[in-house]
Amino acid sequence: MRIALSIFLSLLTLIPQQELPRLKVAPNGHFLMTENGKPFFWLGDTGWLLLSRLTTEEAQQYFENRHKKGFDLIQVMLVHSIKDADAYGHPALLDKNLAAPAKAYWDHLDTIIDLAASNGLYLALVPVWGGVVKAAKPSPAQAQAYASFLANRYKNKTNIVWMNGGDIKGADYEDVWNTIGTTLKKQDPNHLVTFHPRGRASSSFWFEQQPWLDFNSVQSGHRSYAQDTSKEDPRYGEDNWRYIRADYNKTPVRPVLDAEPSYEQIPHGLHDTTQPRWTADDVRRYGYWSVFAGACGFTYGDNSVMQFLRPTDKGSAYGARTPWFKAIDDPGAGQMIYLKKLMLSRPYFERVPDQSLVTDQGTKYDYLIATRGKEYAFIYTYTGRTFSVNPAALGSRRLQASWYNPRDGSTSTIGNFSGRETLTFDPPGAPGPGNDWVLILDDHE
């Protein structure tokens, strides 16, 4: 094993290191782009425990799979536990001190970052998970020392984003989060910074006015409508589009995305493994709902993949059952690319959410959501019910209508219609959850 690893690592050094363009906020404030002006549609995956669970060879297997499936970016925790060690047993910290990083662990991260770049992937790095801050209670001085270490070590790596926080309220240890965010932005100004909040929350709840925050991240969470019994507002249930719509309209204007919706094959509500599990149908719905509401991208997640479950593990979190190397091919993971392809198939930066196109929006699973550019519109239905649209916002005399299939990316032409009157469409198949379609309207003058 050691010989094989040595050979692999030596081969890795021979791979030309791909330097991906840095990411930045687009001029309109709602989207992301590369430094050379190309649209960047954030299609992320939650590979949270990659550092502590995968060897370099396994990381290569995972990265190759995600790149082929169209993913752009992987969300990774740097310190998930105060006792964290990488897959080779190297501890992340000396004496469990956040201000004392241990060399070998971070050398391994250097390799992983370069390996991701060679596979065309960015990494959204979470400096320290919220649970670690709760348990270890680092001082702002320790947080500043740690963030300075990260900023100076990785400021020249072009394929990273900083994802401050980690499943926690920003109001809990707010001085630590502001210290980390401010230090990263000051010492590493060329990388984007966001904040990963607790479930059913957005980074905007606490940090909207902070200059270190470049874009907002939402964790819409894993509960169903019936399980959303929190006494805290907002109570949006599964309507992740509501978080996006709220942030889209805030000032200062920032991009926003759902960085953690329900994962494929995770139980409703997480903890009761007898509950039904979220499926590919559900993750598609979260993706299209949030992006059509104005998000700059979407992060997919899989129960087994986020924890990199092995067949030899004695147990798992949240009832995961499938080994990670099989779960990477779960249906939803292969279908996310069709969302990305659709969004990049038309002029990107001009796109806006526009519910004026929909005459009967519906509620819960019957909700219809619309987005458009100057000469095109997309309307998503999760249940495939008959619906009507008012295309007046496009200002087109004639329109070509098509159905786009989110399961396989295929398009079928419906026909040409007047752009000056209400139109009614009946999607293919029997109405019901998971019979989702996108109606495409294109100017056909």
pLDDT in tens, 285-337: 999 999 999 999 999 999 999 999 999 999 999 999 999 999 999 999 999 99
d(CA 200, CA 246) in angstroms, rounded, equals: 13
Q: Beta strand 216-219 with 256-258: parallel, antiparallel or unpaired?
A: parallel
d(CA 375, CA 368): 20
Element (H or E) spanning 119, and its range?
none
pLDDT higher than threshold 60 for residue 8: no
Q: Is the pLDDT score of 14 beyond 70?
A: no
CB atoms within 10 A of CB 286: 26
Average pLDDT of the chain to the nearest whole number:
95
Q: Which residues of 115-133 are buried (b: 16+ CB within 10 A; e: fewer)?
A: bbbbbebbbbbbbbbbebb
- Per-residue pLDDT for 3 more than 50? no
Q: What is the pLDDT of residue 235?
A: 82
Domain boundaries, the chain: 19-343, 354-443
- What are the tens digits of pLDDT across the range 131-176? 999 999 999 999 999 999 999 999 999 999 999 999 999 999 999 9
- Summarize pLDDT for 38-96 with one digit per residue, the tens: 999 999 999 999 999 999 999 999 999 999 999 999 999 999 999 999 999 999 999 99
Q: Is the pLDDT of residue 12 over 80?
A: no
pLDDT class of 233 with cuts at 50, 70, 90: confident
Cα-to-chain-centroid distance, residue 14 = 31
Per the structure block, which two tokens stand in for 184? Answer: 């990263």
Tell me the CA end-to-end span of the chain in Å, nearest whole number. 64
> Cis peptide leading into 197, omega within 30 of 0?
no
Q: Which CATH superfamily is domain 354-443 in?
A: Golgi alpha-mannosidase II (2.60.40.1180)
Amino acid at 191: H
**Do 19-343 and 354-443 fold alike per CATH?**
no
CATH for the stretch 19-343: 3.20.20.80
For residue 5, what pLDDT band results from cuts at 50, 70 and 90?
A: very low
User: Is the pLDDT reported for residue 342 higher than 90?
Assistant: yes
Task: Report the alpha-carbon distance of residue 161 to residue 94 in Å, rounded.
Answer: 25
Residue 185, SS3 per DSSP: helix
Tokens of 87: 């897959």
Cα 122–Cα 128–Cα 129 angle in degrees, nearest 5: 100
Whether 380 has a pLDDT exceeding 60, the answer reads yes
The reported pLDDT for the residue numbered 302 is 98
Rg of the chain over all Cα atoms, to the nearest angstrom:
22
- β-partners of residue 43 are 298
Decide if 188 contacts 181 (C-beta within 8 A): no
In sequence order, the β-bridge partners of residue 300 are 45
Beta strand 376-381 with 437-443 is antiparallel
Q: In angstroms, rounded to a whole number, what is the distance separating the alpha carbons of residues 397 and 340?
A: 29
pTM assigned to the model: 0.95
Residues 376, 39: Cα–Cα separation, whole Å: 18
